[in-house]
Chains A and B, each alone.
Chain A
């Protein structure tokens, strides 16, 4: 079978990192990613099934991996060589025609282990078993050498991680369910979901978070910082109260409550700021524009960076991470508002995402589709994103007649 594989090659990693800004195409070509004929992965247990991807998204974290710009923290949490791709809608090879989205987290249950304390409580995103059990190291499918990933003709997934896609959803809507689940988790992270919200960044994470927050929260206003025209356009249609440029955030935050601004100090600001960029500058501006005592949720994957934390200390800002998805606790109001049937209000994030997908129709965020062998322009597009009018770039694998023709 054909698959895009990331190999262990320090020289290629470095080349990709050096060239990525000015010679993006060259960086992909000379980078660690290559299209190969590989053996299909072994099924670790009978509970695992083989799937054929139909659409597989390129996530920001995938791009960071390909260009070696992610934090070295993740190095040990993956197992090379692996096939990337964890935003997948696919069909079972043994039962073609049935569409599934994959919940890619490789948790205790998937790894054939007894649940750890986090899994037991439903917080699977915090699962302790990243390196043990049936599989090699990897937080998610798409970072693990044992499972394969979406950027291929075939991969394997645990039966329990499959969610059937309702017929009403298009393939594009379905491939956006995984990012939407992340966004739902981010949107439910703030302690209080009222008042004024700002979302910095309008890439896939930012826009999906905007869409999720507008239905899951009761905000007076949602301000979105969007850099590029297509982002601004989509942000408006997805429910932003106002869409502004990067350097306008402080002014808007100040005007919100007519607060005092002394140098970089702001006496009041947004109740909550969600950072969907993950750069030092965006986190700093989040810390500076949230109200004193407010919350900043970091949704974009941040690389290693230097931050001025003086305002965090002085304004007693809480900064929270928001990774992936697990089990959410929905209050009765919210549950009623989004009309989700729930008994004990503890509900899987993926279930909420599946429920909201029909309403939000995030398939419109899929702007570009590429074949697997067009991976160079695909990654280039994904890397440049809004600058080249792209939001979500996906690999289109529907055209391939048979997976076993190799």
Chain B
């Protein structure tokens, strides 16, 4: 006969729960986060299809309804062959879903997004959702990291498109920032074309300082692919990408022709961070919220 007097409930509890580790034993393994987070599961064919489905029926339509994007030069995306590196300015968390919403399904379903390892992969659950829903991969934006670069290179060679925000973070005030050279470096290494995208309007919808989303219109200008030239230095290629983004940014505010005139205003990156610069870049759009749409948010104070 058993000498254990514990009631059956307590026993069942022991069986059902994970046993605790005695204090003198080795502590359980700490799960990898940040750049060490392993996202390979999210590129498994099953997960990829699930993500494609979720993006097509959920994330992309929702993003389109919030951002109401106008796409300029969409034809530049026709006939592009994987893998491509998409390089965009960064105004908001909405940029990633917006880019996915803008890309044609064929490209969209095979795309991974470089995301700040310190923000999107700081906890395992966050990393799981970032990589499952958006195909995010951890990129170290604090210092140049070999692990990030190697992962990006390897995925490109495997045929995945890559979205990168070389500004290294969202703009604090709506103005463009200097590009880091990581994207140009990776492109030179794998010799694949870089497609510049200029996104305008997401800062007003959900910028870094906003407390909630204020739906509104956006514009996405798609540039012609830039291919690294033979023997071109990384810095020079980065300069070319910067120039191309600058032209696209001016095109948002003016028109195709004016944007390509030499010596125009609205340089990329922004020459100063004064309000005057922000004022000039916003004068193409009078951003009055207009009539509220149904449903009205009764009692909302913020």
Whether chain A touches chain B in the assembled complex (some CB pair under 8 Å):
no
Q: Which residues of B contact A (CB under 8 A)?
A: none
